[in-house]
Chain A
């Protein structure tokens, strides 16, 4: 569950090199889906004017999240150190229940499967799933 192997890292980097340019689309679609399919996640966005799929706040925030993921890819060899600031943000300010990281990750994977059906093989899927789980762990590092 825990450590990313050298092969995982290589797979993640290679897949990201193919899809990184679509980060904005992926983020917007994944976040829109999450809010529709898992409505309990809406509780974190009560301050947004518009929660409809593809809305401006969702598009902006999807980009924010995917920029974080892109950054994590470059820091894949030490996510805990690399994502320290984000971890403190999530722990002390945002305080998002970590269960939601899994939900967000699932929706990111669904969108990747839709947009890249050929490239998103089971091997890529497992590497990305492990990577997003590792990112989630790094984000939750400072929670308690």
Chain B
């Protein structure tokens, strides 16, 4: 069981109350596809991913970015047992989507960078630390059912 301090809980809730889900989800996913282009391998059905401009304006990327962020919102609602809450998602990513778990970290880093640019000075070192811990738990939970 993950132990969260009061500060960490508050920091995570605060981040998710401040960010615009419609902006952050799509921005993080499209940034991931631009910065780590090999991640595009999972999105061959998404149409034009030819360059950064195409990725940014691709409606399927935007829609999926929102799906991913909703997943994170789920994690925030289940902070005391993300592992259990994500069991099915983990099976999905392993058995159906066949996503190399290394990619979870890459998307996590892009999320950090997008949120940092949204929150500016409010994204203090301590807030970043709390968010990194949250991401580590999410990633570990998504990886849990892989075998």
Which A residues lie at the B interface, using CB under 8 A? 32-33, 36-38, 53, 106, 109-111, 113-114, 117, 120-123, 125-126, 129
Contacts and interface: CB of A to CB of B under 8 A. Distances in A.
A109 B129 CA distance: 15
A120 B118 CA distance: 12
Nearest to A111: B116
Nearest to B27: A122
Given A32-B125, A37-B129, A37-B132, A122 B31 contact: yes
Contacts of B52: 121-123
Contacts of A32: 125
A126 B125 contact: no
B132 A125 contact: no
Contacts of B129: 36-37
Interface residues of B, number: 23
- The interface residues of chain A, by DSSP majority, are classed as helix
Contacts of B116: 110-111, 113-114
Given A113-B116, A114-B117, A106 B109 contact: yes
B35 A36 contact: no
B110 to A, nearest CB: 8
Contacts, number: 54
Given A37-B132, A122-B52, A125-B35, A110 B112 contact: yes
Contacts of B118: 117
Given A106-B109, A122-B35, A122-B56, A114 B125 contact: no
B123 interface: yes
Interface in B66-90: none
A143 B128 CA distance: 31
Nearest to B131: A37
Contact of B128 (A37, A117, A122, A129): A37
Interface string B114-143: 101111110101101100100000000000
A109 B116 CA distance: 10
A117 B35 contact: no
A37 B117 contact: no
Interface in B1-42: 30-31, 34-35
Given A37-B128, A106-B109, A114 B123 contact: yes
Contacts of B128: 33, 36-37, 110
Identify the 8 closest CB pairs spanning chains A and B, nearest first. Answer: A117-B117, A122-B34, A36-B125, A113-B117, A126-B35, A33-B125, A113-B113, A37-B129
